[in-house]
Amino acid sequence: MGAGGPRRGEGPPDGGWGWVVLGACFVVTGFAYGFPKAVSVFFRALMRDFGAGYSDTAWVSSIMLAMLYGTGPVSSILVTRFGCRPVMLAGGLLASAGMILASFATRLLELYLTAGVLTGLGLALNFQPSLIMLGLYFERRRPLANGLAAAGSPVFLSALSPLGQQLLERFGWRGGFLLLGGLLLHCCACGAVMRPPPGPSLRPRRDSAGDRSGDAPGEAEADGAGPQLSEATPRTRPRRRLLDLAVCTDRAFAVYAVTKFLMALGLFVPAILLVNYAKDAGVPDTDAAFLLSIVGFVDIVARPACGALAGLTRLRPHVPYLFSLALLANGLTDLSSARARSYGALVAFCIAFGLSYGMVGALQFEVLMAAVGASRFPSALGLVLLLEAVAVLIGPPSAGRLVDALKNYEIIFYLAGSEVALAGVFMAVATNCCLRCAKAAPAGPGTEDRASDTEDAEAEGDSEPLPVAEEPGNLEALEVLSARGKPTEPEPEARPRLAAKSV
The model's confidence at residue 388, banded by pLDDT at 50, 70 and 90, is confident
Contact 377, 217 (CB under 8 A): yes
Whether pLDDT at 457 is above 50: no
Averaged pLDDT, 340-368: 90
pLDDT at 356: 93
How far is the C-alpha of 180 from the C-alpha of 422, rounded, in Å? 39
How far is the C-alpha of 271 from the C-alpha of 262, rounded, in Å? 17
Averaged pLDDT, 179-198: 91
Helices (H), 151-218: 152-183, 186-192
pLDDT at 371: 87
C-alpha distances in Å from residue 79, one per residue of 128, 242, 382, 460 = 9, 8, 10, 23
pLDDT at 54: 67
Helices (H), 39-118: 43-50, 54-70, 72-82, 84-102, 108-111
Least Cα distance to 100 among 208, 185, 212, 190 occurs for 185
pLDDT at 490: 46
The model's confidence at residue 222, banded by pLDDT at 50, 70 and 90, is very low
pLDDT at 352: 93
pLDDT at 389: 85
For the whole model, what pTM was predicted? Answer: 0.70
**pLDDT tens-digit series, residues 54-77:** 667 878 888 888 888 888 888 888
| Across 113-117, 264-268, 390-394, 397-401, least confident range | 397-401
Degrees to nearest 5, angle at CA 304 with 298 and 309: 110
Contact 78, 49 (CB under 8 A): no
The model's confidence at residue 423, banded by pLDDT at 50, 70 and 90, is very high
CA dihedral over 466, 472, 475, 477, signed as positive or negative: positive
* Bigger pLDDT: 271 vs 133: 133
pLDDT at 99: 94
CA dihedral over 307, 308, 313, 315, signed as positive or negative: negative
In DSSP terms, which residues pair with 486 in a beta bridge? 469
C-alpha distances in Å from residue 92, one per residue of 71, 88, 310 = 15, 6, 32
**pLDDT tens-digit series, residues 11-49:** 677 888 889 999 999 999 999 988 887 887 888 888 888
10 Å CB burial of residue 89 (0-12, 13-18, 19+) is buried
**pLDDT tens-digit series, residues 87-146:** 999 999 999 999 999 999 999 899 999 999 999 999 999 998 998 898 889 888 888 888
How far is the C-alpha of 61 from the C-alpha of 385, rounded, in Å? 17
Averaged pLDDT, 411-437: 89
Helix (H) or strand (E) holding 424: helix 409-440
Domains of the chain: 13-196 (1.20.1250.20), 244-439 (1.20.1250.20)
The model's confidence at residue 260, banded by pLDDT at 50, 70 and 90, is very high
Averaged pLDDT, 344-368: 91
Whether pLDDT at 476 is above 80: no
Averaged pLDDT, 362-390: 87
pLDDT at 110: 92
Whether pLDDT at 2 is above 90: no
10 Å CB burial of residue 347 (0-12, 13-18, 19+) is middle
Whether pLDDT at 326 is above 50: yes
Least Cα distance to 499 among 220, 216, 252, 269 occurs for 216
Helices (H), 311-342: 319-336
* Bigger pLDDT: 496 vs 175: 175
CA end-to-end distance (rounded Å), the chain: 9
pLDDT at 11: 65
How far is the C-alpha of 197 from the C-alpha of 219, rounded, in Å? 9
Question: In whole angstroms, how large is the CA radius of gyration of the chain?
Answer: 23
